């Protein structure tokens, strides 16, 4: 399913964000500037209603504190980016990478470096990992949580 990644952003952005990662340019602080927040919030909400199959399957195992009692959010806005899953209490971002990420490795690295600069840990999993070995993925996440 193709996500709508075209939202007009009139704010300056630096560094460039990953279109494939669903991030948008803008501010540099933990809180998004109000104009950017107005754009990101409805986009994140739309993305929650249209998850990829891998995102849907992983969410079924993360929601309602099923994994070691930790709460996760879906399609969470963090500054200029929307991350797939976020555990605030443990400052953990989980990204689900589809085929398009094969072409956006530089942008994904910039995005990850930025998120890590905020003190967040970032775990990335390919769609195939979630679809065909979800128990192993959950074990890796649980290991990171312990």
Per-position pLDDT tens, the chain of length 146: 333 333 323 233 333 333 333 333 333 334 555 676 667 776 677 677 778 999 999 999 999 999 999 999 999 989 888 899 999 999 999 999 876 545 567 888 888 999 999 999 999 999 999 999 999 999 999 999 98
pLDDT value of position 106: 84
Whether the ω angle into residue 52 lies within 30 degrees of 0, i.e. cis, is no
* Per-residue pLDDT at 73: 96
Which strands make up the sheet holding 121-126, listed edge to edge?
A: 73-78, 81-87, 92-97, 121-126
The C-alpha angle with vertex 47 and arms to 64 and 93, in degrees rounded to 5, equals 55
């Amino acid at each position: 399913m193709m996500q709508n990644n075209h939202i007009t952003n009139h704010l300056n952005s630096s560094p460039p964000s990953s279109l494939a990662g669903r991030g948008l340019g803008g501010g540099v602080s933990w809180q998004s500037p109000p104009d950017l927040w107005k754009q990101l919030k409805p986009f994140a909400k739309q993305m929650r209603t249209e998850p990829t199959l891998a995102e849907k399957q992983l969410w079924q195992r993360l929601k309602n504190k099923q994994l070691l009692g930790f709460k996760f959010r879906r399609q969470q806005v963090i500054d200029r980016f929307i991350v797939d899953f976020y555990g605030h209490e443990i400052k953990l971002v989980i990204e689900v990478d589809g085929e398009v990420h094969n072409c956006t490795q530089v942008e994904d690295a910039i995005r990850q470096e930025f998120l890590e600069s905020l003190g967040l840990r970032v775990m990335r999993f390919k769609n195939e990992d979630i679809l065909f070995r979800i128990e192993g993925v959950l074990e890796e996440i649980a290991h990171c949580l312990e």
